[in-house]
Structure formats: structure tokens, C-alpha cells
Structure 1
């Protein structure tokens, strides 16, 4: 079995996270696994209090795309999204904001997606977390 070499991805200007990488590029496979991204600003460690679900969704999706770009790809390289929400009703009620954010960050690109309701997320203020995979050209 050969050694697997990988490189952590840290977008310019972002603080290095504790205990994980925002993204990892594996040499040879061109598969990028993107850790769960929440609706925090890139230079912060958490979600600021008071942001609604739509605002958090927009930031989380933007953070996913930023990691893909930092790895040398684009939004069109995303192949899968796994979305964790604390309230499914939030997802249903913020359809317009979700659609606007999708249009801004992904355009008409629609990777495979899973949506799951969870009891809570690590950040107490987070209501959505998006994990992703991309295949880089």
C-alpha cells in the first residue's frame, strides 16, 4: 500500500481552526473533503448571535465555496453537500434566502445534497452546518 499524501487547505486571511482542517486535498485522487462550515465570518471562530437561518445559510455556503477556491477549484467542482440543520422548519421558511444564496455562490450548479435535522451543533448560535466534497480538475 502506498503512502497517502494530503494538504490542509486554509483560505487566505482565515484563522487556523482547532482540531480540523477546513479542507483537505489528497494527492492523486483530486478529491477535496470540506469540513462542516457554519455561518461564521472567515476570520471568526463562531457564529455571531442574532443571525437568522437565511443569513447563516448564505455564509456557510459561501465558506464552502471559499475552501474549494482555496484548493484551486470552483463551485462547479462540488459534487456533494451534507447539510445539518437544528430546525427543519427554518429550512422550509427561508426558501427565498436559501435560493438567493445558492444563486450567488453556486449559480445553476446542483451537487448531490443530503439534509438532516440534528439536535444541536457545536457552536451554540449555529443553526446550519454544511459539509461538502469536491472533485478538482
Structure 2
């Protein structure tokens, strides 16, 4: 790996004009900054559903795929920043979000920030998640 390398999981289309993630290697540690992931199935290029929990789970899957492509595992995730257009619904469905999280990341608990926003990049997108991983 170069000192600064874009990460694009196998089977994903290359992002036009940006990177899904950038890995920066410093000594024995690789820092991976992951761009906001949404409920797109990256192999079909389709939104998985018009449902907050389903979009959340797909975004988590996407993050885990990126971390794996960088040579890490979900337990290497140190930060999640979650943007949602409906904080009230997110909180009402927190158990579903927690189950989706545990299905892919397990009982590993990085820092998490939840931010309510008016809009995301497309009207049908209900949640977007940025992440940082540290792989050693």
C-alpha cells in the first residue's frame, strides 16, 4: 500500500470524482477515513428500501466492506458519525438499529455521534454514516 491510497472494495464501481475511503499508512498502523455511506447496495447500485432501518443496515454493511478491503475488520472501527433526516424515528427504532449494528459489527463500541439534518444528497436517503478505522 502507498502512504495514501483510495480504497474501493472488489465489485464496487469506482466513485466518480471522489473516493469511498482513503487509507493512510503510518508505520505499522493504517488509518482509514470512510466517506458517508448510505443505503445503496454497491453491487446493484440500488437503494435497498425506503426504510430507515434497512438503509442504516446497508450503510453499516458498506462500511464493513470498506474496512475489510483495507485489510481490517469491524472491530477496527473507532468512530461513526450518523446523519439522519429523522432523529425521532431513529430513536423510536433504536433497537432495530442496534440489532443491525450487532449483526455486522458485534459488541464493539466505537465513538458514535448522531446528527439530525434537514436533507441528505437525495430525497429518498434517510441516513448517511461516516466512519474512521485504525488497523494495526
TM-score normalised according to structure 2 size:
0.91
- Of 104-113 and 4-13, deviating more is 4-13
Tell me if the contact between 1:37 and 1:63 (Cα under 8 Å) persists in the aligned partners. Answer: yes
Secondary structure of the structure 2 residue equivalent to 1:18: coil
Provide the C-alpha distance between the structure 1 equivalents of 2:89 and 2:103, rounded to a whole number of angstroms.
20
2:15 to 13, 17, 20: 17
Change (3 A) 1:21 1:44: farther
Is 1:37 the counterpart of 2:37 in the alignment? yes
Q: What per-residue deviation string (whole Å, max 9, x for no partner) do you get for residues 6-46 of structure 1?
A: 11111011111122111111132511000000011012445
Task: Structure 2: give runs of 5+ residues left out of the alignment.
Answer: none
| 1:47-66 → structure 2 map (5 Å cutoff) | 47=47, 50-66=49-65
Higher strand proportion (structure 1 or 2):
2
Secondary structure of the structure 2 residue equivalent to 1:30: strand
Q: How many residues align?
A: 133
RMSD (Å) for aligned C-alpha atoms: 1.6
